[in-house]
Each structure stands twice: as C-alpha cells, then as structure tokens.
A = this chain, B = another copy of it.
C-alpha cells in the first residue's frame, strides 16, 4: 500500500450552509483503507487497490450477458420479494420484467467496483514540458488544470437511491506530463458508480487521481443533490416540500491538503460563478449524517423482515457486506421508503372525499363558464418499471362558472398524492387524476403532469436534463384545442 494522506474534506449543507473542515494529517502506512468484500472475487479489495480487476473499457464497462449471472439472478429474486411485500402481483405485465430491470440497473450503477483507476489513467499520461526551472508554473510542471461541471450520478449507500453530482476536478501536473482531460471524468465516474456518500466520493476520486497521476496536488469539489423522500403524510403536511437536498463537499491531496494553500485560491478562482467558494468549504458545521433525507429519521424496528433480508441480499450480490457500518441501516431505510408507496396504505384515505361537492354552492348561476385551473400541485411517485422515484408538478384545469373553494385545493393535492404514492407510470397517473377529479369538477377536465424520472438519469441512458410531460383530457377538452391551449398557457413556467 502506498503512503497516502487523508484528504481535506468540507461539507456545506444548503439548508443551513453548515460546514466542516477537517485538517489533513499524514496517515501511517499501517492505516488501511476500508476494505470491501466483493462476492464475485471471493477476496477483499481496497477501493483503490490496483490489479484486482482488469475490466477497463474505454466506454463504460462491458455488462452484456449479465442477465444470467448468479448475482443478477439473486437480485432479481430479491426484487420479487420486494414487489410481493408491496402487495404486487409479480406476474402483472407492467412489472413482470421489473426485477430484471432493477437488477441490471443496480449492477450497472455499481460497475465502478470492477474498474481499475490506474489502468485508465496510465494509458493517457502524455509527456508535456513545463517552463524553464524557476521561471513559472505551466504545462507539465505546475499550473492548475481544472475540469468543471462534470455531470455524474451515484447511489446513496444510506438509502440506495441515486443522487446527482456536479463534479469539479483539478490537478497540478508534475513530472513533465499531463493526463488526458477525459480521464479526470472517467476516474470520477469509476467512483460514482459505487454505493457512496458525498464526502467519501470526493475522497475516493481525489485519492484515485493522486495515486494514478502522482501530481503536485489534486482537488475535487462536488455538489451532490439527493431526492427527498416524503411519504404520503409528510408530503401532504409540507405542501412546498423541497425536491432535492444538496450538499457541497471538497477533498484535496498533495498541495491541496492544506486548506490555506494558495492552490485552493486558484481552484476557486477558476470555479467562479458557481456559488462555491473557499469560505463555504471552510465553514464549520457538519451535516454529513443528515444529507440523505432518510437518515434524518431514526432507524425503526424492522417493518418487514423478509423485505429487509431481500435488500441485504441485493447488497451482498453487489459485492458489498450488508453488515458493515455504512450499510447497516440501509435495508431498513430502503424498505421503509419503498413501503411508503404501498398501494393499500392509502386506499382508505380518499374514502369519503369523493362525494364532497367541491364547488362553492350558491354562486351566481348566470356567470359565464370559463376555464379554471389549479396548478403546481406537488407530485411524488414510483416508476413501476424501475422502482425509482419520479417527481414533479401536476396542473388541473376544468370548465366551470365557479372556482373551487379553498378546501378544494388541498383535496386535489390529496388526490394527486393518493395516485402518486404507489407503483405508477406517468401516463396512467395522469389519466387516473383526470378520472378522479371529474366527479368533483365536472366532465370537462384537463390534467398535465410534468415530472423528472430518476430512471432516466441513473440508468444506461443517463439523460440528466430530460423530463416528461403528459396530458389527459376529458369532455370538451378532448375536442377543443383552443381550450387546451388556453389552459396550457396558464401553467407557470417552472424549472422542475
């Protein structure tokens, strides 16, 4: 094991701009890295040990043929247990292949365990002269190289949900050589494709590059965004529920080990206009333990032991030890989160609501019937094809002489949550909302759902910025495109 130093680490939680700064100290050679069991190799590997794996491909790891591998089959079976725990018929057409999809996504999303940083980097170290000794810092000898705004995603080790990462990586070349720029991104991705928490991810990338390039210094700053995970009750209580919890972390090695190093000044100087400064990273408080929203709740008693066992089995099939500290509560958290989408949890809640007349009675009958709308209702749901969350906004339009009364809006929100908190597809959700509100709001209904799908971000296609809009129309809205258009114009612009 080469000598390593423990990276500088800082945290900022946007909720409180709280922060930590750990000073670095050199570790002894005997300070070992955490080891991870990887079932397949039947051995243990340090996250950065070299030579354990030679599966290094230029364009993402080769994962074809994994369908029949025992790990994939084991995860598939475990996901079936989860679906059954949710009260689902695992042979229902929409979810019949969900276990396979989930298994493949998880294995692909953790492919970084099988990738070898050093090989990636070493093939792309290029000789590059610096300036004459003592005259300056540039080229292959000094002078910061910073790749900004690398989009990644990773899986949260605390709850198994994917989180987004905006990654900034810098290093100071030494030894008259530079590394191919794309390798900074590739190495970052190797560590993102593991079960992670933000500061560990920053440290891993930092150490990986330090070890691979052997530069004067290397620094990593990440902004990580984790989806919130309300349940029906909390989502309903907090109508403006934050969709994402963000944290900024940093890690540095070599000349970046000292948080007062002038190299950090360069790093943040070149990182301008991204609301990230050295002062942020230098603040004090530590929100490490609450960055994942599910960690803010205490671990409860096992709600469903067979489901938790299934999640532990998934972790093991991913080569991880479910008993290790970081993962000890993960099955409990994941199952608790998953069960918040159990259909039957909510069946009762809407009972009685549907017959309440929504329109304020006694209003003027001669008033012209116009298009009314209730926009920006919060949505949380679970994609039944991938068991991953999707979230966004619902807009409802109707034609009436009367506006709904104030209680009406919260009822509509309740209907959205009622249909949201279960295994869904967006198209069905949109239709169901339309059909449910029709008895309350009349036969002329338009529903628009705008949502971000985590499955679009975290699987092979990785289309981070994409989002989906669906529309359902009843009655007059089916034929009257001017009415539709008029309603669509009332939807406020909003970045999902």
Residues of A that sit less than 8 Å from B by CB: 57-60, 62-64, 93-94, 104, 108, 124, 126-131, 135-140, 142-151, 173, 178, 180-182, 185-186, 189, 262, 265-266, 269-270, 272-273, 385, 425-428, 430-431, 434-435, 443, 445, 447-448, 453, 455-456, 459-475, 477-478, 481, 484-485, 488-489, 491, 493
Give the contacting residue for A140; candidates B142, B182, B427; CB below 8 A.
B427
Distance from A151 Cβ to chain B, minimum over Cβ atoms (Å): 6
- Given A136-B475, A472-B131, A484-B262: A430 and B465 within 8 A (CB)? no
- A140 to chain B: which residues have CB within 8 Å? 427
In the assembled complex, the Cα of A300 lies from the Cα of B189 at a distance in Å of 44
Chain B residue, CB-CB nearest to A58: B460
Residues on B with beta carbons closer than 8 Å to the beta carbon of A468: 145-148, 181
Query: A137 to B473, Cβ gap below 8 A?
Result: yes
Q: CB-CB < 8 A to A173: which residues of B?
A: 427
Q: How far is the CA of A139 from the CA of B470 in the complex (A)?
A: 9
Extra pairs beyond A59-B63, A131-B474, A145-B426 (13, CB < 8 Å): A94-B126, A135-B474, A136-B472, A136-B478, A137-B473, A138-B447, A138-B471, A144-B471, A147-B456, A150-B466, A178-B425, A182-B455, A272-B489
B residues less than 8 Å from A182 (CB atoms):
453, 455-456, 459, 461, 463
With both beta carbons as reference points, the residue of chain B lying nearest to A132 in the complex is identified as B435
Q: How far is the CB of A164 from chain B (nearest CB, A)?
A: 12
B461 and A425 within 8 A (CB): no
Determine the chain B residues whose CB is within 8 A of the CB of A124 once the complex forms: 385
- The reply to whether B473 and A136 contact each other, CB–CB distance below 8 Å, is yes
- Could you give 13 example pairs across A and B, Cβ below 8 Å? A59-B460, A62-B62, A135-B475, A136-B434, A138-B431, A139-B472, A145-B427, A147-B467, A148-B467, A148-B469, A181-B468, A185-B463, A272-B488
Inter-chain contact A266/B484, CB cutoff 8 Å: yes
> Roughly how many angstroms separate A144 CA and B129 CA in the complex, as a whole number?
57
Q: List chain B residues, Cβ under 8 A from A143.
A: 427, 430-431, 470-473
CA distance A267 to B212 in the complex (A): 49
Contact of A463 among B126, B151, B435, B470 (CB under 8 A): B151
Smallest CB-CB separation from A453: which chain B residue?
A: B181
Interface centre among A186, A427, A435, A489 (most CB of B within 10 A): A427
Question: Nearest chain-B residue to A65 (Cβ)?
Answer: B62
A427 nearest CB neighbor, chain B only: B178
CB distance from A209 to the nearest CB of B (A): 15
**CB-nearest residue of chain B to A271:** B469
Task: Find chain B residues with CB under 8 A from A135 CB.
Answer: 443, 474-475, 478
Q: Give the chain B neighbours of A448 by CB distance below 8 A.
A: 270
Residues of B within 8 A of A63 (CB): 59
Most buried by B among A58, A93, A489: A58
Task: Report Cα–Cα, A215/B320, bound state, in Å.
Answer: 44
Q: Which residue of B lies closest to A104 (CB)?
A: B58
Note all chain B residues with C-beta closer than 8 A to A108.
59
CB distance from A218 to the nearest CB of B (A): 15
Separation in Å of the A208 CB from the closest CB of chain B?
16
Instruction: Choose from B131, B269, B427 the contact partner of A484 (Cβ within 8 Å).
Output: B269
Q: Cβ of B477 and Cβ of A136 under 8 Å apart?
A: yes
Q: How far is the CA of A477 from the CA of B129 in the complex (A)?
A: 19
In the bound complex, CA of A405 to CA of B148 (Å): 34
- Taken together as a complex, chains A and B put the C-alpha atoms of A474 and B455 apart, in Å, by 48
Give A443 to B58 CA distance when docked, in angstroms.
Answer: 42
Q: Report the separation of the CA atoms of residues A8 and B473 in the bound assembly, to the nearest whole angstrom.
A: 25
Instruction: Tell me the bound Cα distance from A281 to B239 in angstroms.
Output: 39
Bound form: Cα–Cα A126–B97 in Å: 11
A270 touches B488 (CB 8 A): yes
CB distance from A174 to the nearest CB of B (A): 12
> Contacts A461-B189, A485-B265 given: A473-B138 contact, CB under 8 Å?
yes
Question: Which 3 residue pairs spanning A and B have beta carbons closest together?
Answer: A59-B460, A262-B481, A138-B472
Q: Measured between alpha carbons, how far is A464 from B149 in the docked complex, in Å? A: 9
Contact between chains at A180 and B266 (CB < 8 Å): no
Q: Is the CB of A491 within 8 A of B272?
A: yes
| Bound Cα distance from A447 to B139, whole angstroms | 11
A466 touches B147 (CB 8 A): yes
Chain B residues, Cβ within 8 Å of A481: 262, 265-266
A151 / chain B contacts, CB cutoff of 8 Å: 463-466
Complex-state Cα separation, A393 to B146, whole angstroms: 15
Minimal beta-carbon separation of A168 from chain B (angstroms) = 9
